[in-house]
Structure 1
Amino acid sequence: MHTKNNTKTLMLLSALYSIVFVFAAISPTSRAVWVAEILPVVGVLGIIWWVSRSFAFSKTSYVLMFVWIVMHTIGSKYTFANVPFDWFNELIGSQDRNHFDRVAHFSIGFYAYPIAEYLLKRHAVKPAIAMLFGLFAIMSLAAGYEIIEWWYAEIAGGEEGIAFLGSQGDIWDAQKDMLMDTLGAISSLFLLSVQRRVFSSSHAK
């Protein structure tokens, strides 16, 4: 359903994000890494606005989509291995690795929610099909992005390539990142399932 309130949510989130964008653009750790990391963010934001011209996602969808946009932009400023995230690393008892990138990858999975929502509302497919498509879409995207990271790191080389890759010496970094993407997708689809049940129950009364 296309509602003005949902459009206002998108405008408000975009306005708040512009502050984060300006913050990240000022004196990043590596300007080359910042450009490489911010391009997909700008692309995703553009796609969200383009799709929203004819289809308004729910407020939940918009909030979930902006979680990754904000986190990835912050990562672009510091490089993911150097984001000030000590409080979380200490919370999970990890002093040898910055887990900001893992959390950011988890938030990528949140996009399974709007993908499934779009299919449910626009194409009226069965919920199981919509959710499986959302999950598999994220898993495919995760694999594709890891290939792009490897490609860019090979071309850039040196410290810039290492900073962009963000593996921090973990030989299983790509696989763990894809796992986090998948877990994020499963979590967001579980949320969608619960919300649909609550909504259906309230209308059945």
Structure 2
Amino acid sequence: MLETIYKNAVTLAIFSIFTTGLTAVVNDITKPIIARNIALKQKHLLNQVMNLDLYDNQTQLECYFVTDPALGNTTPHHLYLARKGDQISATALETTVPDGYAGVIQMLVGADFHGKVLGVRVIEHHETPGLGDKIDLSISNWINSFNGKVIQSADDKSFAVKKDGGDFDQFTGATITPRAVINATKRTALLIETLRDKLSLLPECGDTHE
């Protein structure tokens, strides 16, 4: 009996060691692949919200952290800078939409320092299929309505759904979601306008925030 228990314990120990080692090997193999895929997806999104013609530092965009309530919460958000030669030509700033119909929405807003929105993309959402999910480019082109729009001021009435007197279409049966996305885009673009003279004060990506 004791011999059987001992053999089973040894077998179990060997199996545990083997599976642990195999898991470690698989993790080492897949980790760089996952990281590369994430980087490619991020680059693809950045290229969509900042026209490729606007910058020539595509392989290594400067990255900083921005923390401001205008971004939907007090979590640090990534700010990416595009340069054409020595001049900053565009930015892309992550932002959070706290008041989506089905919960929090994560976005990336591309803009210059003069209130012009270059592009917007939704990174993550939980909106209802067939209603609020039209903010997703794979479902609808609605998100492209922001391309080239210029925000004149915080009181710019055009940055609203048509139901509220603005320029943007609302969704049939779903006004809360597009209204929230429009307001978040407006707040983010206005914040970007204020950042040019504050860049030296912002922590760089790779600091202790990550």
TM-score by length of 2: 0.31
Which one has a larger percent helix, Structure 1 or Structure 2? Answer: 1
If you compute each CA radius of gyration, which structure gives the higher value, 1 or 2?
2
TM-score by length of 1: 0.32
